Structure 1
Amino acid sequence: MNTNIEPNDDASRAPAASAREGFVVHSLLDNLQGQVFGILMTAFGTFLLRSAGLITGQTAGLSLLISYASGWSFGLIFFLINLPFYAFGFKRMGLGFVIRSFISATSISILVELAPYLIIFEKLDVVTAAVLAGCAAGVGLIALFRHGASAGGLGILALYVQDRFGIRAGWFQLGADLLIFALSFLIIDSSAVIASLLGAFVLNTLIAFNHRKDWYVAQ
């Protein structure tokens, strides 16, 4: 990404110019730790939802619905559903973004499948689970977005729409989530759907208010 900083013999002016343009330059270590954190938090949020019998939006929500209805592995479904979006992501966002998103989505799929062997909840209130899952996954997705990745699927499309049309990624994803939740009434209990909507609202509101192109642009 071009920072548009004019060449200057005074190196001390470069950071100031970069700050004025709103760009943040990340090192390889910066991006690696950000992606790992994002993967862990997003996987934990998804695990909370599955443990409480709830859903979310985007491809994770579709994957949970299919898993509940069919009994198939969430991780496998999530991995397969994401595959078509990588072609779109490659065309619109670049190979590096797609590779990082593929690694993130695959890691999330594996971690959610492994989590029940590592974490057991004796009691898990559905409303509490929904809010905590929304916070965890929201923070995780923001970390992935800010370090040049996504959790795959609609996250790739949402980032493109934000960059291309100025529609915030969180609001776009919230609209897509509403369609998924409409389908969920056919598969899970209505009270679980309502609790899930709360979690989705928390998640997408966090993204909408904290991932803005005019606030934070990473290179």
Structure 2
Amino acid sequence: MSGASTPKPASLPDGAVPAVTHSWFDNLQGLVFGVVMVSFGISLLKALGLITGQAAGIAFLISYETGLDFSLVFLVVNLPFYILAFMRLSLGFTLRSLACVIAISALTGVAPQLFRYEHVEPFSGAIVAGFCIGIGLIGLFRHGASGGGVGILAYYVQERTGFRAGWLQFALDAVLFATAAFLLDGRAVLVSMVGAAALNLFVAFNHRRDWYIAR
């Protein structure tokens, strides 16, 4: 009848969002996008001498303090979290996340040969990097993977409890930046915190199970 509203499917409760089934190509292109965006954001932060949160932030601190290659440190720092992924999530999620972290490590390693940042205002660069990493992480989350490290823990907690991944990452990053304050220049830490805030707020507000569910 004209003017009649379309009824909801009987199988879906109020407020529920129907799951989206992805093809292998859907997932592949989403993961590639996520890897590229995260890698670009990390390379920008590295060029500015800044850090971010999560496992990448830990890798940045170790790399700056020891002189070790960031790409290698980032890969090693992420390895323990795959125990959680394998035990509590799924083998597919674990393997996809591992592949993404290896790809991110490789891309950030070659980024200086691909991009040159002649002039970037630090606060603007940190915010842009935060948004790039944030949207990249959402791309990985929505296609059954993560950027490793704390992202795996945040994904697990959100899937099991509904507590948003971005808020958990925010809390853990606070501990990381408190540590960084003793190791890095104060202004670099402040600028890095602005970028991390942009990243985590973006993820917290845009990665929600009631907006988008993929299987």
Q: TM-score, normalised by structure 2?
A: 0.92
Paired with 1:168 and 1:119, the residues of 2 have a C-alpha distance of 34
Contact 2:127 2:198 in 1 (8 A): yes
Contact 1:101 1:149 in 2 (8 A): yes
1:23 aligns with 2:19: yes
Q: CA RMSD in A?
A: 1.7
* 2:3 corresponding residue in structure 1: none
For 1:30-45, list aligned pairs within 5 A: 30-45=26-41
1:149 aligns with 2:159: no
Report the 3-state secondary structure (helix = DSSP H, G, I; strand = E; otherwise coil) of the residue aligned with 2:209: coil
* 2:5 corresponding residue in structure 1: none
Match of 2:67 among 59, 71, 76: 71
Paired with 2:56 and 2:36, the residues of 1 have a C-alpha distance of 15
- Call closer, same or farther: CA 1:65–1:123 in 2, change over 3 Å: same
Match of 1:194 among 168, 171, 190: 190
Paired with 1:26 and 1:202, the residues of 2 have a C-alpha distance of 29
* 1:122 corresponding residue in structure 2: 118
Give unpaired runs (5+ residues) of structure 2.
1-8
Match of 1:107 among 103, 109, 118: 103
CA offsets 1:165-219 (integer angstroms, 9 cap, x no match): 2210000001011111011112211111111111111111111111111111101
Paired with 1:26 and 1:16, the residues of 2 have a C-alpha distance of 23
Paired with 2:62 and 2:77, the residues of 1 have a C-alpha distance of 11
CA offsets 1:21-52 (integer angstroms, 9 cap, x no match): 42111110000000000000000000111110
CA offsets 1:91-147 (integer angstroms, 9 cap, x no match): 111000000000101110111110001111111211011001001000000000000
Paired with 1:176 and 1:148, the residues of 2 have a C-alpha distance of 22
Report the 3-state secondary structure (helix = DSSP H, G, I; strand = E; otherwise coil) of the residue aligned with 2:105: helix
Q: TM-score, normalised by structure 1?
A: 0.90
Following superposition, the deviation at residue 17 of structure 1 comes to: 6.3
Paired with 1:186 and 1:74, the residues of 2 have a C-alpha distance of 20
Contact 1:22 1:215 in 2 (8 A): no
Give unpaired runs (5+ residues) of structure 1.
1-14
Alignment-mate amino acid for residue 94 of structure 1: S
Paired with 2:94 and 2:126, the residues of 1 have a C-alpha distance of 29
Contact 2:17 2:212 in 1 (8 A): no
Contact 1:102 1:152 in 2 (8 A): yes
Alignment-mate amino acid for residue 88 of structure 2: R
Count of aligned positions:
206
Contact 1:22 1:214 in 2 (8 A): no
- Identical amino acids, percent of aligned pairs: 50
Paired with 2:182 and 2:68, the residues of 1 have a C-alpha distance of 18
Following superposition, the deviation at residue 59 of structure 1 comes to: 0.3
- Call closer, same or farther: CA 1:218–1:185 in 2, change over 3 Å: same
Paired with 2:31 and 2:91, the residues of 1 have a C-alpha distance of 16
